[in-house]
C-alpha cells in the first residue's frame, strides 16, 4: 500500500516533465519551462468543464503566438505536447510548483490569461471556476486579486 502511494506521489510530481518528446518540443520552440507549464495549465483548465471547445484552444494558440512570439508552425507541436501532458496529469501541484516562483505581477498576468481561456466559450462552468480558484491558491494569489481579475476579464452580460 505504501509503495502504491509513493508511486502515485512520484507520478504527480513528475507530470510536467512528460516524455523526452515533450521536452524537445518546448525547448526547440525556445520556450522557458514556466511558459510551457502555463500552456499546460491553460489546457487543463479548458477541459475542466468536460468539453473541449475550439474557442478555448484558439485563445491558447493566439496567446502562444502573441506573448511567446511563436509562429503557428512552432506553436502547434508545443500545443500538441502540452495537450498530451495535460490529459495525462493527475494533479495541478506538479505544474504550479514552478510557477509560484514567478514574480507576483507575472502570476497575475497568468491568472488573467486563464480567465480568458475560461470565458472563451462564453460560459463560466462551475468546474472551471473551481479549478481556477485552486490554481490561484496554489500560485499564492490573493483572493481580492482573483476577484478583480475575474471581473476585469468577464464579458458583460
- We report the CATH number of the domain holding residue 24 as 1.10.3680.10
pTM for the model stands at: 0.83
The better pLDDT of the pair 145, 56 is held by: 145
pLDDT tens profile 51-101? 767 889 999 999 999 999 999 999 999 999 999 998 888 888 888 999 999
In this prediction, residues 121-149 reach a mean pLDDT of 95
Give the torsion sign (CA, 144, 140, 92, 6): negative
Q: Which range of residues forms the domain containing residue 88?
A: 2-153
Tell me what pLDDT residue 9 has.
53
Domain count, the chain: 1
The better pLDDT of the pair 121, 13 is held by: 121
pLDDT value at 128 more than 80: yes
Percent of the chain with pLDDT strictly greater than 90: 61
Q: How far apart are CA 155 and CA 122, in angstroms?
A: 8
Task: Please report, for residues 17, 39, 92, the alpha-carbon distance to residue 113 in angstroms, rounded to integers and kept in the order given.
Answer: 23, 10, 17
Please give the grid coordinates belonging to residue 126.
Answer: 462551475
Task: Please report, for residues 60, 69, 79, the alpha-carbon distance to residue 76 in angstroms, rounded to integers and kept in the order given.
Answer: 11, 13, 5
pLDDT tens profile 36-45? 999 999 999 9
pLDDT band for position 47 (cuts 50, 70, 90): confident
Amino acid at each position: 500500500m505504501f509503495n502504491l502511494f509513493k508511486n502515485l506521489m512520484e507520478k504527480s510530481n513528475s507530470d510536467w516533465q512528460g516524455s523526452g518528446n515533450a521536452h524537445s518540443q518546448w525547448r526547440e520552440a525556445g520556450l522557458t519551462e514556466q511558459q510551457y507549464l502555463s500552456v499546460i495549465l491553460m489546457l487543463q483548465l479548458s477541459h475542466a468543464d468536460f468539453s473541449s471547445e475550439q474557442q478555448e484552444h484558439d485563445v491558447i494558440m493566439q496567446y502562444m503566438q502573441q506573448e511567446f512570439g511563436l509562429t503557428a508552425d512552432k506553436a502547434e507541436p508545443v500545443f500538441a505536447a502540452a495537450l498530451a501532458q495535460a490529459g495525462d496529469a493527475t494533479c495541478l501541484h506538479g505544474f504550479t510548483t514552478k510557477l509560484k516562483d514567478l514574480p507576483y505581477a507575472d502570476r497575475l498576468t497568468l491568472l488573467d490569461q486563464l480567465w480568458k481561456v475560461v470565458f472563451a466559450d462564453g460560459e463560466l462552468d462551475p468546474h472551471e471556476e473551481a479549478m481556477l480558484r485552486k490554481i490561484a491558491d496554489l500560485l499564492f494569489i490573493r483572493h481580492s486579486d482573483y476577484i478583480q481579475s475575474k471581473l476585469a476579464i468577464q464579458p458583460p452580460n
